[in-house]
Structure 1
Amino acid sequence: MGKLLEFLVNKKNKVFLVTCLYVHVTSLLFYAYYDAPYLAITNAISSLMYVILLITDKAGSDRNIMIAFIEIIFFSVTCEMLTVGTYGFIFYPLGMVAVIFHLVSTTKAKRALLQLLAIIGTFVIYGVNITGFIPIKSIANDLSEFQAFIVASNLVVTVSTMVYVSFLYMAEQEKNKALLEYNINHDQLTGLYNRRFFYTAIETIRKSTRLFSLAMVDLDNFKRINDTYGHECGDEVLKALSEIFTESLDENDIAVRWGGEEFILFMPGIDEKEAEGRLEHMLEKIRVCEVKFEDKTVTFTATIGLASCDDPHKYEQVINEADQNLYYGKNNGKNRIVTHIPK
Structure 2
Amino acid sequence: MAPFSTLTQAAAQRPDNIRHRNLRKHLLTRWASLMGAAVHFLFIPLFWVLDHSLLALINVISVAMWLGAYLANQHGEQDRAVYLITTEAYCHAIIATVILGTSAGFHFYLLTLSCWAAVTHSVKWVALVLGLMGMLIFLFLEFPLSQMFPLESGPGFPLMLATLNLSCALFTMVGFAMLARHVYETQEETLTSMATRDALTGLHNRRFAGEYLRQLSGDRQDGTNTPYSLALIDIDHFKLINDKHGHKVGDQCLIQISDLLVRHFRRSDVLCRWGGEEFLLIFPGADLNEILPVLEGFQERLHSLPIMHNGDVISLTVSVGVTSHTPGMHYDLLINRADHLLYRAKAEGRDRIISDQTGEQVPPPL
With the length of structure 2 as denominator, give the TM-score of the two structures: 0.46
With the length of structure 1 as denominator, give the TM-score of the two structures: 0.49
Question: With CA pairs under 8 Å and 6+ residues apart, which has the higher RCO, 1 or 2?
Answer: 1
